[in-house]
Structure 1
């Protein structure tokens, strides 16, 4: 019996809503189901204004436009993140400045950020790894003092909070993913939360290819045209129909994922006490969303050995990011300090299977094989 790393959850309403969307005369973006998704996200999580996008990558690209990144502007972010975090801003000419992770968590070490700030620093991007919130109070304080934008990369963080507030609502902008590896999915998709009132109207224009077409459809103007730069960031309303069904099942999805996350944590705690590995750290102020259950091994050799051991027994348990400052593309550009914690998580972190339909029997098998590995 093979155990996959991920299996997308599909509930009972997705096909019904897709069929309903096909009955509508408008299948392109910003139809009925898109609007219902926007309303749901804003009401449930308190986001001031949301726009669905075709991916979190495109949400980040919108953020780079909204923050008016110019060639030479500097953007601080963790090296231990997905390439989209950097790419979206590099496309506008930004210089990427990598900061190290915490020693005990893959999130950016906020205490290191100020040493990277220069007069050219325009944006700080905290990445909420595994749906665990960064220290947003300290980070926002630094940003406010230095007049710097905060763009939350909350790709993994839907339904997670920091001090009771939804991740993605704490910075100036928040960017989320609905890729089918995430908790809430639509295959490919995402959204941006625009928390600064003064750029909400521009956000609407940017995602409509730089036009004021949305205002035209609302009857606010008698014709629309090209008024700004932009691109086509709107997902089909058919995708939004699928997504709405997922959003309405969010509590069920989260409850089931959290059960499985906690089952792993309880069962594997003995190995942490023995010093064989480290389990995920969850700060008191952060309520996570059970997006990832990961282990950190003492070194890369041990991590790789465990990964291959599980693979040989039909269990998919992959590593995660390769630190971007060491990547094939960027390593020749990188001139900054050593980032030992980013390297540690690159070398030592492994993720266990976690999805709604993962059975207790399957989890017990994963757990038993891990114990077998450690003897």
Structure 2
């Protein structure tokens, strides 16, 4: 007789729902204020400012928009260079390529999959304008070292903290350390704005006024609503970078329950780690590394196999059992666009090889015990076979 778990399909991700989303959306509709910067947006921004201790948070339609705003704010121009890891999502690079910059990739660390801070300084040239550390899996990069390098070379630091909401580095919230930072509220993230969404965090006050202008289509509309000018007009370049009040109302329901969501995810993450630790000791997998300086947010649980062939076999095996596990980024320097708009400084010792080993396991808010147990069951069956084959 088949176990009931045999019929259970486990997705890789399920967008979080806390219970207040629909009522808040209805409140937003009833307010007759559906465009950007409504009451829910202001509440979200206030929450972000208080939680992260950033000087200003501005909601955006996506993390991509936030990164594009950052590139505009630091006046990226054709010929400028921006240093970042190749192991990241395309938006990290695109935001600066759109302004004419050349991307300079450096290698990652094999332990955290973050940019190798010891490789950055050698990649700096007179054309370098900024460093963009990416906090992979919500685990902070070595920000003290990165900020010190940036200070000595008069460079901007823009944190790609898309995965880092509620994570910390040495007691500081990710996103609150660099000059600027970007959060994501995509449906695959710990907190979502109903599918898409993002935020720009501003830690250098000189950027605040212009940031408001840029996302209001280049107008000083924000100052008008504060009564600082008697009419608003076109004063700078800009675009439409405000999320709707529908997005903000959905997001606020999530942020209200941020601690609950965080604890739920951490519990699953810690159980994964505990149950799989023996297989790391058998050297058939590697588990995530969390430095002592970091408090992570359980954004994802990944493991690494010895090679791409074993990873592919694992993904196929899990899919046959109705469990979706997925690999992650293809290194950007290996892509068609990457070859046109970037260069890799130094040796690619880990970026490609480590990316080919990594696979992500299902992890989401309110994951049922049945779903979780099915994943663990088939994980252990596959890994036991690897141990026995050694």
Query: Which of 198, 214, 227 is matched with 1:219 structurally?
Result: 227
Q: Tell whether the 8 Å contact from 2:52 to 2:175 is kept in structure 1 after alignment.
A: no
Instruction: Write the distance in 2 (CA, Å) between the matches of 1:228 and 1:349.
Output: 44
Q: Distance in 2 between matches of 1:88 and 1:332?
A: 15
Q: Which residue of 2 aligns with 1:202?
A: 210
Residue 299 of structure 1: which of 290, 303, 307 is its match?
307
Distance 2:331 2:145 in 1: 24
User: Match of 1:351, SS?
Assistant: strand
- 1:329 deviates by 2.4
Alignment-derived partner of residue 296 in structure 2: 288
Instruction: Give the C-alpha shift of residue 334 in structure 1.
Output: 5.1
Shift, 1:203, TM fit: 0.6
Report SS of the residue matched to 1:174.
strand
Alignment partner, residue 318 of structure 1: 326
> For 2:340 and 2:73, how far apart are their aligned partners in 1?
29
In 2, Cα distance between the equivalents of 1:263 and 1:283? Answer: 18
Q: Distance in 1 between matches of 2:366 and 2:354?
A: 28
1:237 CA displacement:
1.0
* Distance change (3 Å), C-alpha of 1:334 and 1:30: closer
Structure 2 residue 380 is the aligned partner of structure 1 residue 371: yes
CA contact (8 A) 2:103 2:342 kept: no
Offset at residue 339 of structure 1 (A): 1.4
- CA distance, structure 2, for counterparts of residue 23 and residue 145 of structure 1: 52
Contact 1:264 1:363 in 2 (8 A): no
Q: 2:34 aligns with which of 27, 33, 55?
A: 27
SS where residue 280 of structure 2 aligns? helix
Deviations 1:198-231 (A, max 9, x none): 1111111111011001111111111111111111
Deviation at 1:331, TM superposition (A): 3.2
Aligned twin of 1:123: 130
List alignment gaps of at least 5 residues for structure 2. Answer: 1-7, 386-390
Hey, what does 2:357 align to over in structure 1?
Answer: 348
CA RMSD of aligned residues (A): 1.1
| Contact 2:41–2:249 (CA under 8 A) maintained in structure 1 | yes
* Count of residues paired in the alignment: 375
Candidates 226, 242, 267, aligned match of 2:250: 242
Q: Does 1:359 align with 2:368?
A: yes
- Match of residue 62 from structure 1: 69
1:135 aligns with 2:155: no
Displacement, 1:335?
A: 4.6
Map Cα deviations across residues 316-355 of structure 1 (whole Å, 9 max, x no partner): 0000000000113223665534313110232110000001
CA distance in 1, matches of 2:17, 2:369: 19
Question: Matched residues in 1 for 2:221 and 2:117: separation?
Answer: 40
Could you tell me the TM-score, scaled by structure 1's length? 0.98
Q: For each residue in 1:236-281, what CA deviation from the matched residue of structure 2 results, as whole angstroms up to 9, or x when unmatched?
A: 0111111111100101100100000001000000100000010000
Deviation at 1:167, TM superposition (A): 0.2
Q: Does 1:108 align with 2:115?
A: yes
Secondary structure class of the residue paired with 1:193: strand
Residue in 1 aligned with 2:241?
233
The aligned residue for residue 347 of structure 2 is 338
* 1:361 Cα offset (Å): 2.7
Structure 1 gap ranges (5+): none
- Whether the 8 Å contact between 2:43 and 2:252 is mirrored in structure 1 is yes
> How far apart are the structure 1 equivalents of 2:368 and 2:250?
25
* 2:104 is the alignment partner of 1:97: yes
State which drifts further: 182-191 or 363-372. 363-372
In the TM superposition, structure 1's runs of 4+ consecutive aligned residues that sit over 6 Å from their partners are none
Alpha carbons 2:102, 2:342 under 8 Å: kept: no
Shift of 1:13: 1.0
**TM-score, normalised relative to structure 2:** 0.94
Equivalent residue number for residue 163 of structure 2: 156
Distance 2:373 2:353 in 1: 28
